[in-house]
Amino acid sequence: MDGMGIGAPVRRVEDRRFLRGAGRFVDDIPAPGALHLHVLRSPHAAARILSLDAAAACAMPGVRLVLTAADLDIPARLRCVTPRQRRDGSPLVQPEWRVLPRDMVRFVGDVVAAVVAETPAEAQDAAERIAVAYEPLPAVTDLAEAVRPDAPQVWPGLAPGNECFHFRLGDVAAVEAAFARAAHVVSLDYRISRVSANPLEPRNALALHDPIEDRYTLYTGTQLPHVMRNEIAEFALGVPSNRLRLVSPDVGGGFGMKESPFPEHVLCLLAARRLGRPVRWTATRTESFLGDSHARDNLSRAELALAADGSFLAMRVRTLANLGAYLAWQGPVSSTNNVGGLAGVYRTPHICTEVTGLFTHTQPTAPYRGAGRPEAIHAMERLVDLAAERLGMDRVALRRRNMIGPEEMPFRTGLDYTYDCGDFPRNLELALEAADWAGFPARRAQSAARGMLRGIGIANAIEIAGGPHRKPLEEGAEIRFDSGGSATLLVGSHNHGQGHETVFRQIVATKLGLAPDRVQIRFGDTDSVAHGRGTIGSRSMMACGAALVGAAEKVIARGRQIAAHLLEAAEADIEFEAGRFRIAGTDRGIDLEAVARQSYLPGALPDGAELGLGAALVTRPGDGTFPNGCHIAEVEIDPETGETRLLAYTVVDDVGTVINPLLLKGQIHGGVAQGFGQVFGEAILYRDGQILTASFQDYPMPRAADLCAMQVTSNPVPTRTNPLGVKGAGEAGTVGALPALVGAVVDALRPFGVTHLDMPLTPERVWQAIRAARPGG
């Protein structure tokens, strides 16, 4: 369908309601008679609960229920589903995470009790009357301290020290041999700061219980409705999954954080069952900082071995990963599942890595946009910059020397991944041209004339999307026609900003010739959609798109049978194109919508024939995909204040087939903005166990004025691993942003002898680096 199909720059249909304030989020859902839940959180990072007295709270006006650990009649636990091992090969240490702890709290913000009252204010007032006697204990929040033998133990008795797992990947012997014969070795000790997702819509819940059916309903903003339903029902509540309906309506951002179950979900459900009334909870912004999963927070040492001519020989990385006090649902994923990205786009023959997961008295960490991919590319690209400086080579020339060429595909990297396709050298050349790399010295001179420092950074990014590698997860889709000829798409992927309602219509416009106004899309309701894995890891187009294409093919096959009967022709003679079945070689045909209408008329089909038209499919893509690209950032620094200004940002990206170029650019822009936020300000900080950055007064989020116009160009090389040829785009911007932006700042500070700075590159940190390099400090 011209102008509406795959590749067309169609504006998002979702924006019509969002821009008019007509979105339907959890807080917009009416629930007459709803009560409100408030959570009492621990003020201590580590403490023993000596006593808890809720009598005063129970007597407060409007209070209907107070829940403590002693009040729960089921274990009500959360779990981690990511298998990892300890050094001796035994399973990782997985301590019990109860939604209400019995005797200990292990981070500031740990849930202690919950109050349900008629209004939010009454619930909060009552929670403040709960008398809890704590015995504060020594706490550890920093990775470097947690690994020390004398560090306080988060889980005494479970294991010596705070080590949860030890992960190894790669041929250690081959790497050591390569380092032994290397002409040059560069190394980098660096920290990836801890961040919070901070979606526009905080976490929330609206819980109901039907005592007749003994069935729960939970409305909550989540990326994985079906998965979360199963986890909460089967594991936390101990009931069959069909006893819980989970509905996730419009969601104001997820970024990985909203893929996990949380204690508040379970507490609302338990309260609704006991009270027989709906129960609501919505986090305040400070509660989000205290109760949401955090992300990143790694401490690493990376090393790169090179031959005399600059060829990469080997790489090794050792990482300490902060897991927090408990293991989130997929807590270890970010630090281990995507380490194959360390290879980057270069032919480094041998790579090995070790990741040690550590408990600390902090919020659990979980996947966040990129989920380990930005950290991996940051390691490689920073090492390449350092190697170029050590060898006296041009940064671009060193990259060109070691870059994998398209003629080498498929390419087995030195660590885990096999890239199926891509043209990395073309990405680089297109980006250099678009960013006017050759003209940078003149621009730097112009800045110097004004007393400013100018720098340019480059990063070649690649990531796995839709993984895990070689075993992508399944996804479901259904196309259901009604008797009026209109279609409803029921998809397992959830839309929380990506534009699924637009691009899925574009897919069916191409495959079935259906006009957008004849298509409705349903997602996020486990009672309506039979199965879904959900939206994580840039997988929606490759996984749900593939399921949708397969369902469309089944619709066409079924429609061909009906059309053959209606047209009185052999099925083999029926062709389908642009929404119309036609007898080959003639102009006789019938539209798909007419076939759908006729399929519901008993007299139109043979006796005994199945009525109706539709198809459902749960399928799995052939393999993970590898979106890739080149990012170039240009910055200017005021040496008197350390303030950095982003002047230009260029991206050349290969995400395979481009379904919608407008939405693709939006995804890249958003990813770069989140990377910018982490590079230049975002950081969760602790002191003496207390979180110091629990509001936007202390945790600086990027603003529109901080960013510049971004130039995004596509260099698509479609993959053959899925029927659409797509590779995924949701996380690509963040993956390349971290090293490109840090590299630009370091390049600006090169005259001062600065070779690396850890994030966040706040004005103070940059100013301190300049000051330390000047004579006299």
Task: Spell out, as residue ranges, where the chain has pLDDT lower than 70.
Answer: 1-2, 469-470, 776-777
Task: State whether 722 and 667 are in the same domain.
Answer: yes
Count of domains for the chain: 4
Check: CB of residue 418 under 8 Å from CB of residue 411. yes
Structure token digits, residue 105:
């709290």
Check: CB of residue 226 under 8 Å from CB of residue 529. yes
The residue among 473, 773, 435, 434 whose CA lies nearest residue 622 is 473
What confidence score (pLDDT) does residue 466 get?
82
List, in order, residues 6 or more apart from 160 with CB less than 8 Å away: none
Category of 316 on φ-ψ map: left (φ > 0), alpha (ψ -120 to 50) or beta: beta
Position of tokens 């960490």? 365
What confidence score (pLDDT) does residue 4 get?
85
Check: CB of residue 317 under 8 Å from CB of residue 335. no
The residue among 238, 724, 220, 218 whose CA lies nearest residue 475 is 724
Task: State whether 647 and 746 are in the same domain.
Answer: yes
What confidence score (pLDDT) does residue 621 get?
82
Instruction: Give the range of the structural domain holding residue 645, as residue numbers without chain letter.
Output: 420-470+623-777
50-102, pLDDT tens digit by residue?
A: 999 999 999 999 999 999 999 998 989 999 999 899 999 999 989 999 999 99
What confidence score (pLDDT) does residue 777 get?
59
Boundary (domain end) residue, out of 291, 306, 337 = 291
User: What is the distance between the alpha carbons of residues 241 and 246, in angstroms, rounded to a whole number?
Assistant: 10
Whether 344 maps to a domain, the answer reads: yes
97-136, pLDDT tens digit by residue?
A: 999 999 999 999 999 999 999 999 999 999 999 999 999 9
Task: State whether 510 and 587 are in the same domain.
Answer: yes
161-191, pLDDT tens digit by residue?
A: 899 999 999 999 999 999 999 999 999 999 9
Whether 640 maps to a domain, the answer reads: yes
Task: State whether 604 and 630 are in the same domain.
Answer: no
Q: Where are the beta strands (DSSP E) in 597-709?
A: 614-619, 628-637, 644-654, 686-687, 690-691
Average pLDDT of the chain, as a whole number? 95
Tell me the one-letter amino acid at 190.
Y
3-35, pLDDT tens digit by residue?
A: 889 999 999 999 999 999 999 999 999 999 999
Task: State whether 175 and 210 are in the same domain.
Answer: no
Whether 6 maps to a domain, the answer reads: no
Cα 1 to Cα 97, 511, 543, 657, 674, distances in angstroms: 52, 9, 23, 17, 35
Helix (H, G, I), strand (E, B) or coil at 395: helix
Whether 26 maps to a domain, the answer reads: no
> Could you tell me the end-to-end alpha-carbon distance of the chain, in angstroms, rounded to an integer?
66
Task: State whether 184 and 232 are in the same domain.
Answer: no
Whether 39 maps to a domain, the answer reads: yes
Check: CB of residue 269 under 8 Å from CB of residue 216. yes
What confidence score (pLDDT) does residue 160 get?
78
What confidence score (pLDDT) does residue 601 get?
93
- CATH assignment at residue 230: 3.90.1170.50
Whether 9 maps to a domain, the answer reads: no
User: What is the distance between the alpha carbons of residues 325 and 560, in angstroms, rounded to a whole number?
Assistant: 58
Position of tokens 């409100």? 36
User: What is the distance between the alpha carbons of residues 602 and 590, in angstroms, rounded to a whole number?
Assistant: 18
- CATH assignment at residue 548: 3.30.365.10
User: What is the distance between the alpha carbons of residues 622 and 726, in angstroms, rounded to a whole number?
Assistant: 12
What confidence score (pLDDT) does residue 93 get?
86
Whether 27 maps to a domain, the answer reads: no
Task: State whether 101 and 229 are in the same domain.
Answer: yes
Task: State whether 308 and 447 are in the same domain.
Answer: no
- Three-class SS string for 367-424? CCCCCCHHHHHHHHHHHHHHHHHHHCCCHHHHHHHHECCHHHCCEECCCCCEECCCCH
What confidence score (pLDDT) does residue 214 get?
97
Task: State whether 491 and 369 are in the same domain.
Answer: no
Whether 7 maps to a domain, the answer reads: no
User: What is the distance between the alpha carbons of residues 739 and 459, in angstroms, rounded to a whole number?
Assistant: 6
Boundary (domain end) residue, out of 291, 320, 343 = 291
Spatial strand order in the sheet of 350-359: 163-170, 350-359, 312-324, 294-306, 184-196
List, in order, residues 6 or more apart from 775 with CB less than 8 Å away: none
Task: State whether 259 and 335 are in the same domain.
Answer: no
- What are the residues facing 711 on neighbouring strands? 650
Sign of the dihedral through C-alpha 618, 623, 629, 633: positive
Boundary (domain end) residue, out of 291, 306, 325 = 291
List, in order, residues 6 or more apart from 716 with CB less than 8 Å away: 654, 655, 656, 657, 658
Task: State whether 597 and 643 are in the same domain.
Answer: no
323-353, pLDDT tens digit by residue?
A: 999 999 999 998 998 999 999 999 999 999 9
525-572, pLDDT tens digit by residue?
A: 999 999 999 998 898 999 999 999 999 999 999 999 999 999 999 999
Task: State whether 630 and 759 are in the same domain.
Answer: yes
Longest dimension (CA), the chain: 96
Residue 172, H or E segment: helix 172-180
- What are the residues facing 522 on neighbouring strands? 490
